[in-house]
Amino acid sequence: MDAIAAIEQRISEIHSLIGAVSPGTASTAVAYSAAASSTAFATTLATAVSSVDPLATAAAQLNADGVPTTLAGYGNGLIPESALSPITGSTERLWAPAAEQLDALLADAQADGVVIGITDGYRDYDTQVGVAASKGLYQSGGLAAVPGTSQHGWGLAVDLSLDDDALAWMRENAGRYGFVEAVAREPWHWEFQPAA
């Protein structure tokens, strides 16, 4: 519900900005040329749209269970390749807003001299079954979620290759990009939670 309220607030802000440059009502004596009015409207709209917070936008696209609404109908681990986006410089994929934010995170880390590698992203159901078989389930002391429940299966989780400097950088900065260290015993596992 908070996401809906945030969207309604943003729409109201955009309406206010648009209203500030609209040609007025019939009772207004102010006359605007069509070109000036159109240019002012376009500039205001571009400013309003460019100031949208990508994390708020991503959070608004999640259902009550934190699953992207565009992917929920497919099911965990059953997402078609066409519904996911590649992570730049990797063969791995994530839900598009997660991939975009991870790309920004990786670029900023690199600019700070920190190297972060990608080891895993989206996992289809069969891959989740294989990981559970090879690494065991969490509830039994292993490292895998029950197949069909992993955040990897929604394209929301990424496993990273991190040295000590990269892990420290992630812990200090990842939240700005919507990523959280979600599993205490897995410092390589990060989940996209834009509303966190």
**Stated pTM of the model:** 0.73
pLDDT at 31: 43
Nearest to 114 by CA among 122, 123, 105: 105
Whether the pLDDT of residue 114 is over 60: the answer is yes
| One domain, residues 90 and 137 | yes
The pLDDT, as a whole number, for residue 9 is 65
**Is residue 60 a part of any domain in this protein?**
no
Q: Does 36 fall in a domain?
A: yes
* Domain residue limits at 154: 69-192
Residue 76 lies in a domain: yes
Report yes or no on 89 lying in a domain.
yes
Residue 94's SS3 state is strand
Confidence band of 195 (pLDDT split at 50, 70, 90): confident
Is 62 a member of any domain? no
Q: Residue 151 has what DSSP assignment?
A: G
Q: What is the pLDDT of residues 10-56, one digit of tens each?
A: 666 666 655 554 444 444 434 444 444 555 555 554 445 445 799 99
